[in-house]
Amino acid sequence: MEPRSLFGKILMHTIIIVLVLIWVVPTLGMLISSFRPASEVLNTGWWTVFKSPLEVTHLTMENYDTVVERAGMGLAFRNTFIIASLGTLIPVTAAALAAFGFSNLNFWGKKIMFGIIIGLIVVPLQMTFIPVLRIYHQIGLSGTFLGVWLAHTAYGLPFAVFMLHNFFSALPRDLFEAAYIDGASVFSTFFRIALPLSVPAIASLVIFQFLWVWNDLLVSLIYLGGTRDVAPLTVRLASLVGSYGQDWHLLTAAAFISIVVPVVVFLGLQRYFVRGILAGSIKS
């Protein structure tokens, strides 16, 4: 190997390692803080544990105990799971069907309808709170999981349709024509050809939508409310802290509990993710 390219490689790797460290250090600090007792978190920085790395007695599970016990994490986890699972499934299913229609079927007003849906991407969701909540209140949907699912579906659909439409449009049309000639209906074309081919795109859409719903605080707070029986993790976590910001040290432990599932989902679907991001970017 030439010395110059070796030097280049070392430089490149150093830069990457530094960048990675910049990203990882805050998370590491949070992880260490989550195991430290309250009085120490408030008085000294997390890096002080490295001064005496062998004294593990400084570390405690107390924060995790308090969070699980006080916040009623089990119930909150269940609620978040109910919200996030269908809050992801409904919009992704609807978006796949809609995107397929927009890209492969011909019907009157298709372009205008597609334009309207894409235009909805730029509507800030905060604008919709009062009118939607008013309707929900009248038909008895406020404070129900169904209401939150529908809200997440509506907020997630425009982007989901847009993304999948680009992907479906990039699939070779000959595939579908061949299927039609063999006598396949529109539905079987969708289920047997379009869907299996679009797994990477759908997987990355699932990650996007799932993370957004999992992390959402505002939509749940408005439509669902913060009472214990329905409140998701994010709402419970926010109320761990007192009105003057007391007890913030508990947030470190709470944050780690809440990121477990998203991390698992991300790692599980990661191999689709990069492929999916490129979905529809090149039209052959």
Partner 1 sequence: MKKGLTVLLGLCLVVAGSFLYSNVTMAQGQVTVLGVWGGSEEDAFMEMVRPFEEETGIEVLYEGTRDLPTVLTTRIEAGNPPDVVHLTGPGLLRDLLARDAVFDISEFMDMDKFTAEFDETWIDLARGDDDGVYGVFISADLKSLIWYSPPRFEEYGYEIPETWDELMELSDQMVEDGFRPWSIGLESGAASGWPGTDWIEDILLRTAGPEVYDKWIFHEIPWTSPEVKEAFELFGQIARDPNYVYGGPVAVLTMDFGDAADPLFTDPPRALMHRQASFITSFIEDRHPDLVSGEDYDFFPFPPINPEHGNPMMGAADMMSMTNDTPEARALMEYLASAEAQEIWVNKLGKLGVNTEIDPDAYPDELTLRMAETLHEAPEFRFDASDSMPAAVGSGAFWEGILNYVGGDDLDEVLEYIESVAQETY
Which chain residues interact with partner 1 by CB under 8 A? 38-39, 42-43, 70, 82, 86, 89-90, 93, 129-130, 133-134, 136-138, 140, 142-146, 149, 188, 191-192, 195-196, 221-222, 225-231, 235, 238-247, 250
Least distance to partner 1, CB of residue 149, Å:
7
Two tokens, residue 46: 């997390």
| φ/ψ of residue 233, rounded to 5 | -50, -50
Radius of gyration of the chain (CA): 24
By beta-carbon proximity to partner 1, the closer residue of 32 and 71 is: 71
Nearer to partner 1, 188 or 270 (CB): 188
Token pair of 184 as six digits: 């396949």
Nearer of residues 154 and 221 to partner 1, judged by Cβ: 221
Q: How far apart are CA 123 and CA 34, in angstroms?
A: 38
Least separation, in Å, of the C-beta of 169 and partner 1?
A: 21
> Which of helix, strand or coil describes residue 226?
coil
Residue 137 CA, distance from chain mean position: 27
Q: How far apart are CA 112 and CA 7, in angstroms?
A: 56
Q: How far is the CB of 227 from partner 1 (least distance, A)?
A: 5
Closer to partner 1 by Cβ: residue 207 or 230: 230
* Helix H or strand E encompassing 148: helix 145-170
Q: 6 or 42, CB closer to partner 1?
A: 42
Are 217 and 152 contacting, i.e. CB atoms less than 8 angstroms apart? no
CB of 245 to partner 1, least distance (A): 7
CB of 147 to partner 1, least distance (A): 10
d(CA 224, CA 230): 7
